[in-house]
Chains A and B, each alone.
Chain A
Amino acid sequence: MAILINRKTKVLLQGITGKMGGLHTKYMLDYGVDLVAGISPGKGGAEVGGVPVYNTVPEALEHTAIDATLILVPPYAAKECAIEAIESGIKLVVIISEFVPIHDTAYVKQLAIERGVRIVGPNTIGVISPGKTKVGIMPGSIYSEGPVGVVARSGTLTHDIGATLTEMGIGQTTCVGIGGDPIRGMDFIDVLKEFAADEETKVVVMVGEIGGTGEELAAKYLEGGYPKPVIAFIAGQTAPAGKKMGHAGAIISGGTGSSASKYAALAKAGVTVAKTFSEMIAAVREALAAEEARKKQLLGKSQAAGI
């Protein structure tokens, strides 16, 4: 199972002939990704690492089915690439590019909603279902397969949480970096809904950061009842107010968007909040153990009942 992407996902890379495109073609192939084609207008007919290059997405679609695309192009080119993918009918569009103008993101997000397409990003590391495939730029080796779903705003923090879980022997179903920009495609709630419906995911780790309202909206959604334990970590607990902490969206202004308000909203919604990684790991272990115990109990009951 896992969410959004699995072993069979056929992946396209838009921007395959760039420096980053070439590098990540290699990394994706090494990870076993079914990278079926790349796009680079004007370079159709070429190959990168054995992957055929086409001029346009429609041209690529004449040769292969495509389930998801990874956009790895300069920021001002990302909008057109995303529109091309959406209008060509690709259902999952992952925009890696950093510094995409907000107006471009807003347009793409709206078009995607109208066409029933999922957008991840921009300014993201993408999505990985460890051991199966990835549509992203993360180093695959630091993630591992298992029962925990991860959704995070910050890219490198997703790596770090993935690596920490892996170090502690806890694998992941899927890790989704939703991106560090104030406006983004899928938000916490969208990913939480996917994890709720995924049988393999037993526990969800949610990694937020200061600024914006995504975590508070997620808390409101979770308050309505969620079928799985959720554990949250919010970065920026010690960030000074009024200073932009790297990401365009990461700023505490006028007392809103602080980690304290996010932690409070999440705790109220029944989420286990962790202030450090070791607290987070302990909470994940506990939740997994409780899930295991519940399963055994159910099994015992059904055996006793002769089912």
Chain B
Amino acid sequence: MRLFEYEGREIFVKYGIKVSPAILVRSVEEASKAVETVGFPVVVKAQVLTGGRGKAGGVRIAANPAELIEDTGRLLGLVIHGEKTESVLLSKKIEIAQELYAGVTFDPQNGLPALMFSTSGGMDIEEVARTTPEKVLTMHLAPTQPLRAFRIVDFLRGSGLPSDLLPKIAQVLQRLVEAFHGSDATTAEINPLVITPQGEIMAIDSKMVIDDSALARQQITPRFEAGTPLETRARKGSLNYVQLEGNIAVLGSGAGLAMATMDMISYYGATPACFLDTGGGISSEKMAEAFRICLATPGVKGVLVNAFGGINNCEWMGRGLANVIDEDKPTAKILVKMRGHSQDEGWKLLEDRNIPIVKFGTTEEAVKQIVELVGKGA
């Protein structure tokens, strides 16, 4: 889950990284009052989760109270890449001698955290890395070993910065790595990290992404990303659901299986209405909710259930489907391909309700059958 800039700054402070003084406000009135603690000139920054905020006009500089009222009023409610600005951060304008970049993320190639540093901070770092890769220093970290300060100083020698700055910057990087581990981040980034004319090192922005699987132990309440009402409903039920444009809903007991089913529906000339992956641990209630969401998907004419009883159990899954059939009496065409643990019990529940089942056939055969039942029209 992405954090807002102000939330990331709170984590930086907790780990001893110096940040520019700032205060969060949600209205023009609050801004006029709060600015006293920060002082003019002040940087007014829209708090949105999407990237490219600066380019979209989400950052302004106010030199006096009149400008502050104008800038805050303009930014609050501003829609940036589809996301409405609900709050702004008033941040003291810092004198900058040099802008740096510092970040930690996982390298998908080897599963190790990678610490990255560049003296070309303040701009699009992905662009810097693409066009001038030599300007971004990278060091892989072993999660089983503590990160020693001397290792970072050694790493920073390649940056060309003067020696007297290296230990100071190394300390910030060490704390950033601690924040990365301690807050279960998948990305922890400071861009820019600035050197002031007085030689102070300070973070003036933050980008943090927290691992969704670790939110509970970090005691972070999940924020649901914007989606259709059915997508939001599915997330609340711990179901992975993506609404699409076609007429055949795909309900799979795993992501790969559901995707492969979708692919073959398209291959045979029809279009999927949605992708729904139940994940593991399906109770009959969870299956019923998944099935109801598929049936409620706009434009749906048929539902293909493709499920395995591995970690799951066909009887529980069958009961969930059967309950919806009994209670809701759906009119869409339904085809169930289900195999695995307790399959006979699961099949019987559906056979009793005259639901067609693919018992031993392949996913491809099931796809051909549902496309036949529903027709190819979208």
Contacts and interface: CB of A to CB of B under 8 A. Distances in A.
A246 B341 contact: no
Interface in B272-317: 272, 275, 277, 279-281, 306-311, 313
A277 B213 contact: no
A99 B213 contact: yes
Contacts of A27: 341
A35 interface: no
A163 B106 contact: no
Given A107-B143, A154-B257, A155-B256, A276 B267 contact: yes
Interface stretch (B11-19, B165-173, B359-367): B359-367
Nearest to A125: B310
B340 A142 contact: yes
Nearest to B281: A98
A70 to B, nearest CB: 12
B254 interface: yes
Interface in A270-287: 275-278
A213 B106 CA distance: 13
Interface residues of B, number: 57
Interface string B329-341: 0000000000111
B264 interface: yes
Nearest to B263: A237
A246 to B, nearest CB: 3
Contact of A102 (B186, B264, B265): B186
Contacts of A155: 254, 256, 280, 310-311
B256 A209 contact: yes
Contacts of B259: 154, 157, 209-210, 235-236, 238-239, 245-246, 250
B318 interface: no
Contacts, number: 181
B247 interface: no
B357 interface: no
A202 interface: no
B280 to A, nearest CB: 5
Interface string A104-116: 0111011100100
B217 interface: yes
Contacts of B311: 20, 96, 125, 137, 155
A3 interface: no
Given A139-B308, A155-B256, A276-B267, A167 B362 contact: yes
B244 A240 contact: yes
Given A106-B113, A125-B310, A160 B263 contact: no
B275 A101 contact: no
A138 B340 CA distance: 8
Nearest to A184: B111
Contacts of A229: none
A160 B258 CA distance: 11
Interface in A137-179: 137-139, 142, 152-160, 163-164, 167
A120 interface: no
A239 B259 CA distance: 7
Interface of A: 20, 23, 27, 75-76, 96, 98-103, 105-107, 109-111, 114, 125, 137-139, 142, 152-160, 163-164, 167, 180, 182-184, 207, 209-210, 212-213, 217, 233, 235-240, 243-248, 250, 275-278
Closest 3 CB pairs of A and B: A154-B256, A246-B255, A156-B254
20 contacts: A101-B214, A105-B111, A110-B112, A125-B311, A139-B308, A154-B254, A154-B259, A155-B256, A156-B253, A160-B362, A209-B255, A236-B259, A238-B262, A245-B240, A245-B255, A248-B212, A248-B213, A276-B267, A277-B260, A278-B362
